[in-house]
Amino acid sequence: MKKGQVYLLAVIIMGFLIYTMLLPVNFLKTSEIDDDFQEISKNYQLESAKLLNELLNTQNLNQDFVEGRFLNFTVAFTSYSKSKNPNFGLVYAFPFNNKVFLGNYADSPLNYTQTDQIQGCLSDVTAAISLLGIDVSSPDIDVGTYTDCMTSITYPLNDKLDLILDNSEYSFTLSDSTSNLIIINKESIEGDVKIFISE
C-alpha cells in the first residue's frame, strides 16, 4: 500500500467518524412529568372534610351558608392548587338536608343526569401567587361568578349518584345519615389524564 493510499483511507475513516458523531440519533424522547397531583388531591380531601364537619357542627345551619362557605373554600383551594399545578381540577359532591351539592372546578363539563351538566370552571379561577410570604394576587371570590360551577339536586331515592366526567362514569353510594364527601380530582398533561377518586 502506498503512502497516498494510507492518507486517503485515513481521511475516509476520519470523515466517517465525524459524520457519525454529528449525525442526530433518533431517540424516543418522553418528558418526565414530576408533579404533586396526589399530594394536592389528598390535601383537598383532608381539608374539605374538616370544613364540612365544622359546618355540620354549626348551629342554625342553612343551605345558603353551607353552599357559600364550601364555595369560598373550594375556589380558594383551586386557586392555591393552580399555583402548584395549573392542570389540577376537581369535582365534589356531598349530601345535606335532602339535597346533594355538586361543584365542578375541572376543565370539562360534569354530567349528573342524562341531560343535565355543570360546566367546568377551572379556567375562571385565578392562581394565588405568593412571593416571600407576601400574597401578590389572591382570588376575589364572588359567588355570582361561580353559579355555573355548582348546583344542588334532590337526594336520590336509591342512594346512588352517577357522575360522568370526560365520558367516564363514576358511581357512588350516598348515605343520608353521615356526611360523606365525594371528590374526583383530575389532571391532564400532554394527553395523559390522572384521576383521583375519594369517597
Q: How confident is the model at residue 82 (pLDDT cuts 50, 70, 90)?
A: confident
0.75 exceeded by pTM: no
| Tens-digit pLDDT profile for residues 180-190 | 778 888 887 76
Q: Is the dihedral of CA 67, 68, 71, 76 positive or negative?
A: negative
Range of the domain at 165: 36-198
pLDDT of residue 30: 60
pLDDT over 90 percentage in the chain:
2
11, part of any domain: no
26, part of any domain: no
Buried b or exposed e, range 104-130, using 16+ CB within 10 angstroms: bbbbbebbbeeeebbebbbeebebbee
The number of folded domains in the chain is 1
9, part of any domain: no
3, part of any domain: no
Q: Is 195 exposed, middle or buried (0-12, 13-18, 19+ CB in 10 A)?
A: middle
| Tens-digit pLDDT profile for residues 152-182 | 888 888 888 888 888 888 888 887 655 577 8
23, part of any domain: no
46, part of any domain: yes
29, part of any domain: no
pLDDT of residue 172: 87
47, part of any domain: yes
